[in-house]
């Protein structure tokens, strides 16, 4: 009469004897024309496109920020070149 499972150790008290948690329920019987399957597939596809769009927006923002920084630095370089030319001219006038 060993068919009935009982706890033999104190440690097993917290263990589920029926092992109901080990079963997995799957919906593999859904065909390719099942609406719930199609909806899930479209939702996944929409999510992927939203992820790509957010990545494109992030890249575009980084590009525009980089362009702005480059323009500001270019303007500063031009100003510095002008200042250097003026200082060289003054130095040359002093040395004459």
DSSP the chain: ---S----SGGGGGS-SS-GGG-----TT--TT-HHHHHHHHHHHHHHHHHHHHHHHHHHHHHHHHHHHHHHHHHHHHHHHHHHHHHHHHHHHHH-
pLDDT number for residue 10: 59
Q: What is the mean pLDDT of each run of 10 residues along the chain (96 residues)?
A: 59 58 63 83 96 97 97 97 95 87
User: How far apart are alpha carbons 48 and 41 in whole angstroms?
Assistant: 11
pLDDT number for residue 77: 97
In the chain, where are the structural domains located? 45-96
pLDDT number for residue 6: 65
Contact call for residues 52 and 44 (beta carbons, < 8 A): no
pLDDT number for residue 34: 83
């Amino acid at each position: 009469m060993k068919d009935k499972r009982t706890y033999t150790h104190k440690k097993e008290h917290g263990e589920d004897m029926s092992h109901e948690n080990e079963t997995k329920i799957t919906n593999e019987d859904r065909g390719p024309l099942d609406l719930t399957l199609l909806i899930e597939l479209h939702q996944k596809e929409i999510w992927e496109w939203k992820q790509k769009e957010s990545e494109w927006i992030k890249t575009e923002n980084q590009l525009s920020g980089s362009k702005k920084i480059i323009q500001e630095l270019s303007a500063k370089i031009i100003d510095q070149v002008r200042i250097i030319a003026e200082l060289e001219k003054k130095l040359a006038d002093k040395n004459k």
